[in-house]
Structure 1
């Protein structure tokens, strides 16, 4: 039987791992960039996917001097771009099968 291990991080752990101030983390959640598990900041937990997204958000904020709403828009657009690239690769593979014949 295969077991799945789910790793979750507390607010303090996330702040330390990502290099964010607690107030920034609260703002990020308020803008819907990530959704923690738990109702209040005292009990919030973040999974590895959220940690990855928070690192990207912090990098955009720091390197491009974007405000948090701008970061949210940029992350949405980056996600759409990644999805379109994935779909494009799949379509090229399908097309390649027809062209090889």
Structure 2
């Protein structure tokens, strides 16, 4: 099986998304996002889907002017919300199919 996951390295993430290297390290330290491989920043690689969380974290940090700990809590809540919305949609789809079968 071929792994088609797209990745981005630490330097590319910082350069392409215009995120300060220290902020990326803070985001990782607080568990907001994490590398999918590598042991230090020189060989860190991230799943490109994690870019969304980096961008949200930076935006929250800048706009709300809160510390990284608060940003981590907000991102955790946003991730939980997303997971619950996806689960709710799945259950809604199942319910809809169930009702179609009953008719």
Cα distance, 1:45 vs structure 2: 1.5
| Unaligned residue ranges in structure 2 (runs of 5+) | none
Of 4-13 and 25-34, more deviation after overlay is shown by: 4-13
Q: TM-score, normalised by structure 2?
A: 0.77
1:32 aligns with 2:34: no
Q: Counterparts of 1:28-67 in structure 2 under 5 Å? A: 28-36=27-35, 37-67=37-67
CA 92–7 in structure 1, closer or farther in 2 if over 3 Å, else same: closer
Residues 94 and 11 of structure 1, relative CA distance in 2, 3 Å threshold: closer
Give the alignment of 1:1-101 within 5 angstroms.
Answer: 3-36=2-35, 37-96=37-96, 97-98=98-99, 101=103
Contact 1:10 1:45 in 2 (8 A): yes
Q: Deviations over 1:15-61 (max 9, x none)?
A: 11222111111111111111112111122111212222211211221
CA RMSD of aligned residues (A): 2.2
The answer to whether the 8 Å contact 1:18/1:58 transfers is no
Q: TM-score normalised to the size of structure 1? A: 0.78
Q: What stretches of structure 1 move > 6 A for 4+ residues in a row?
A: none
Alignment length (residue pairs): 100
Instruction: Mark the runs of 5 or more structure 1 residues left unpaired by the alignment.
Output: none
